[in-house]
Amino acid sequence: QKEVEQNSGPLSVPEGAIASLNCTYSDRGSQSFFWYRQYSGKSPELIMFIYSNGDKEDGRFTAQLNKASQYVSLLIRDSQPSDSATYLCAENTGGFKTIFGAGTRLFVKA
Amino acid sequence: ETGVTQTPRHLVMGMTNKKSLKCEQHLGHNAMYWYKQSAKKPLELMFVYSLEERVENNSVPSRFSPECPNSSHLFLHLHTLQPEDSALYLCASSQVGLAGGRGNEQFFGPGTRLTVL
């Protein structure tokens, strides 16, 4: 059974701090990894994707992928209260099926 | 319209009703998906269509019936649902088949909040 594991949280960080969200996956064949943000009552919104080992930066977001250790992480710098949401990690092995984690709830305290 | 749209946004139905959910994608993608999201559970993939052909059916009860008339439209027909089917139903689309697994990012519609009485 292919799985994506995330700590459900909640993760609480003060405004301006770095939020670190982690995810592990079981399928060594996974090729693509995604981070989605989901506000309460809304649908998931894609914020980052990464295919290669290493870091990928986009504004305040950095995705990190380590295929040898099978983990992917998301760093949010200068966290804002508006970043408070559930963050979903997902992986895809190149086909139609994307496996989603259950999500980590993040609270950014003003 | 841009992205992925879904209608209706909210639906309340009795167990004997028949209703349909509609999804439309304006992204030129070749794959469309139905997901169910219940409270505190991961997204559950229900159906996948690629170029109007169903390529995935995740043991979904027959009271859910998908239809994909073309690559931009996807329906989910509902009949004789149960209260446990109450959830957020999400449609998504993606472009599948790019080299190295690139692409495959799924873009979601706003969802239909379904309540079965």
pLDDT digits (tens, 9 = 90+) for A84-98: 999 999 998 777 888
State how far the Cα of A84 lies from the Cα of A86, in Å rounded to an integer. Answer: 7
If you measure CA to CA, which chain B residue comes closest to A6? B42
Q: Is B108 on the interface with A (CB under 8 A)?
A: yes
- Interchain proximity A46–B107, CB inside 8 Å: yes
pLDDT, position B99: 63
Residue corresponding to tokens 């472009």: B95
Q: What is the pLDDT of residues A29-59, one digit of tens each?
A: 888 899 999 999 899 999 999 999 999 999 9
pLDDT, position B100: 58
In degrees rounded to 5, what are phi and psi of residue A72? Answer: -135, 140
State how far the Cα of B47 lies from the Cα of B21, in Å rounded to an integer. Answer: 13
pLDDT band at A19 (very low <50, low <70, confident <90, very high): very high
Average pLDDT over residues A4-9: 90
pLDDT, position A100: 92
State how far the Cα of B22 lies from the Cα of B27, in Å rounded to an integer. Answer: 16
Q: Is B60 on the interface with A (CB under 8 A)?
A: no
* Contact between residue A35 and residue A83 where contact means Cβ atoms under 8 Å apart: no
- Computed over every residue of chain B, the mean pLDDT equals 91
pLDDT, position A45: 96
Check pLDDT > 90 for residue B41. no
- Interchain proximity A44–B96, CB inside 8 Å: no
If you measure CA to CA, which chain B residue comes closest to A51? B102
pLDDT, position A6: 93
Which among A31, A43, A103 has CB closest to B111? A43
Phi-psi map region of B7: left, alpha, beta (phi>0 left; psi -120 to 50 alpha): beta
Check pLDDT > 60 for residue B109. yes
Mutate to test the interface with A, among B7, B106, B107 (most CBs of A within 10 A): B106
State how far the Cα of A36 lies from the Cα of A17, in Å rounded to an integer. Answer: 20
Largest Cα–Cα distance in chain A? 41
Mutate to test the interface with B, among A2, A36, A39, A43 (most CBs of B within 10 A): A43
Which among A94, A96, A102 has CB closest to B42? A102
How far is C-alpha B69 from the chain's CA centre?
14
Nearest-CA distance A101 → chain B (Å): 6
Average pLDDT over residues B78-91: 96
In the DSSP assignment, the letter for residue B83 is G
Q: What is the pLDDT of residues B58-81, one digit of tens each?
A: 789 999 999 999 999 999 999 999
Which among B96, B105, B110 has CB closest to A34? B105
Average pLDDT over residues B44-67: 89
Nearest-CA distance B2 → chain A (Å): 14
